[in-house]
């Protein structure tokens, strides 16, 4: 099935030496650390990036103009981005992409990884790119984008306009384990995998892509407390526990609540089932497909288990992460 008017092609990831000259010049002025997937991570505005990610951050800061009707899905990597993309896309496009006949498998999610349906701001070229035209890839009046950008680095218009921000966070230990697996998949073969200990040490120091993890979460948490109509703050584990409640919450936040008729025909449950890990992970596109960047779709569907960290972390590691959570979130009333 073709949905060319809606999908888009994510770009290929650049190697460190392939980024623009402007970016190289700036990178040479930034603090850097070795580790994770590429030779270096660079610190910009207090957060860490691979070189090509940094180029994307600069571009979207420079060119992205948020509109009042836009919706931005935001996360620290591995906190539930793929799931949130699937849910948000399905909710806001439910009139044009009905899920009532899902046995016919007509919905775009049957043929597209969620990352193909919702573009990531910092992975896009922002120059003459049709995906930034209003409603170019979606039938909804809202443009739907995702980003891993920390609050401090969001383009100004995203903060100043009335566009809505949905933030999803996840248990620190599960996020770390998910990230460790994912980054090892991204690492070139000749580098071999990062050891758990090596990755853990960097993560705890805050040195991980779009990290420090704690600062990322905390900044959006604070913003959600100050501006609850602007920022909806979600937790992965709570969504797993009661996905239907959160699907309704999302629809209300987007300004497209479910009608009594929709509720009566169980649209909420159908969306939950369509976007569930169990359903998406078994689809051919997500088992065998790849993003144009070369990343295999199946790497976004590792297991989705709450508490998987128990299979990996030593008691000392658990203690250290608990202590860091306590220190970093003290006084915020946020618990992860
Ligand atoms: P990203 O930030 O690189 O896009 P992201 O989608 O946030 O990744 O994280 C992937 C995690 O979400 C995986 O967790 P795991 O490593 O612990 O298994 C993945 O399994 C989980 N995930 C992906 N899709 C879903 C879904 N539909 N429902 C629940 N969890 C999901």
Per-residue pLDDT of the chain (336 residues; tens, 9 = 90+): 333 334 444 445 677 788 889 899 999 999 999 988 778 999 999 999 999 899 999 999 999 999 999 999 999 999 999 999 999 999 999 998 988 665 677 899 999 999 999 999 998 777 777 777 765 555 567 899 999 999 999 999 999 999 999 999 999 999 999 999 999 887 766 677 889 999 999 999 999 999 999 999 999 999 999 999 999 999 999 999 999 999 999 999 999 999 999 999 999 999 999 999 999 999 999 999 998 788 899 999 999 999 999 999 999 999 999 999 999 999 999 988
From the list 2, 243, 196, the residue with the least C-alpha distance to 112 is 2
Q: Say yes or no: CB of residue 78 within 6 Å of ligand 1.
A: yes
Of ligand 1's atoms, which has the minimum distance to the CA of residue 85?
6
CATH code for the domain in which residue 203 is found: 3.40.50.300
CB 223 within 8 A of CB 229: no
298 lines ligand 1 (CB under 6 A): no
226, 217, 222: which is closest to 325 by C-alpha? 217
Does any domain span residue 7?
no
Which two structure tokens, joined as six digits, stand for 182? 């994912």
B/e letters for 212-238, b = 16+ CB within 10 Å, e = fewer, are: bbbbbbbbbbebbeeeeeebbbbbbee
Over residues 47-96, the pLDDT tens digits come to 999 998 999 999 999 999 999 999 999 999 999 999 999 999 999 999 98
> What are the tokens at 137?
């890839």
Q: Beta partners for 169?
A: 235
Quick check: is 148 catalytic?
yes
Flag whether 234 is in a domain.
yes
Does residue 237 lie in a domain region? Answer: yes
Q: What is the CA radius of gyration of the chain?
A: 19
Two structure tokens written together for 248: 């309704």
Range(s) of the domain holding residue 260? 65-329
Residue 187 within any structural domain of the chain: yes
User: Is residue 195 in a domain?
Assistant: yes
Domain-embedded: residue 311: yes
Task: Answer yes or no: is 12 within a domain.
Answer: no
Pocket of ligand 1, candidates 13, 178, 217: which has the most ligand atoms within 8 Å of its Cβ, to mutate?
178
Which mutation among 77, 82, 114 tests ligand 1's pocket best, with the greatest number of atoms within 8 A of CB? 82
Distance CA 35, CA 119 (A): 27
Q: How many domains does the chain have?
A: 1
Q: Is the CB of 301 under 6 A from ligand 1?
A: yes
In short, whether 184's Cβ falls inside 6 Å of ligand 1 is: no
Residue 34 lies in a domain: no
Please give the Cα distance from 325 to 171 (Å, whole number).
10
**Which one of the listed residues 148, 181, 216, 246 is annotated catalytic?**
148
Question: Torsion-angle region of residue 211: left (phi > 0), alpha (psi -120 to 50) or beta?
Answer: beta
| Dist. CA 29 → ligand 1 center (Å) | 34
């Amino acid at each position: 099935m073709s949905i060319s008017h809606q999908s888009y092609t994510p770009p290929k990831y650049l190697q460190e030496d392939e980024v623009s000259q402007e970016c190289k010049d700036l990178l040479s002025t930034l603090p850097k650390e070795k580790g994770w997937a590429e030779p270096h991570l660079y610190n910009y505005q207090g957060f860490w990036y691979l070189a090509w990610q940094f180029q994307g951050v600069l571009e979207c800061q420079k060119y992205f103009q948020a509109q009042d009707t836009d919706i931005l899905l935001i996360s620290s990597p591995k906190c539930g981005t793929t799931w949130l993309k699937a849910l948000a896309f399905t909710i806001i496009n439910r009139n044009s992409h009905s899920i009532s006949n899902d046995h016919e498998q007509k919905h775009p999610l049957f043929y597209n990884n969620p990352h193909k349906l919702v573009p990531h701001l910092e992975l896009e070229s922002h120059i003459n790119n049709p995906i930034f035209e209003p409603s170019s890839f979606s039938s909804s009046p809202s443009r739907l984008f995702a980003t891993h950008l920390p609050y401090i680095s969001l383009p100004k218009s995203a903060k100043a306009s009335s566009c809505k921000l949905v933030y999803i966070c996840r248990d620190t230990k599960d996020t770390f384990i998910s990230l460790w697996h994912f980054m090892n998949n991204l690492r070139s073969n000749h580098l071999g995998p990062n050891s758990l200990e090596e990755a853990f040490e960097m993560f705890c120091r805050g040195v991980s892509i779009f990290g420090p993890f704690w600062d990322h979460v905390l900044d959006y948490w604070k913003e959600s407390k100050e501006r609850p109509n602007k920022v909806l703050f979600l937790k992965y584990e709570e969504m797993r526990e009661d996905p239907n409640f959160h699907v309704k919450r999302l629809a209300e936040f987007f300004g497209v609540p479910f009608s009594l008729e929709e509720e009566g025909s169980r649209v909420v449950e159908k969306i939950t089932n369509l976007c569930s890990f169990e359903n998406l992970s078994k689809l051919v596109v997500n088992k065998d497909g790849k993003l144009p960047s070369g990343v295999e779709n199946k790497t976004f569907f590792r297991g989705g288990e709450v508490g998987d960290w128990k299979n990996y972390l030593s008691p000392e590691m658990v203690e250290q992460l608990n202590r860091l959570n306590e220190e970093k979130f003290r006084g915020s009333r946020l618990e992860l």
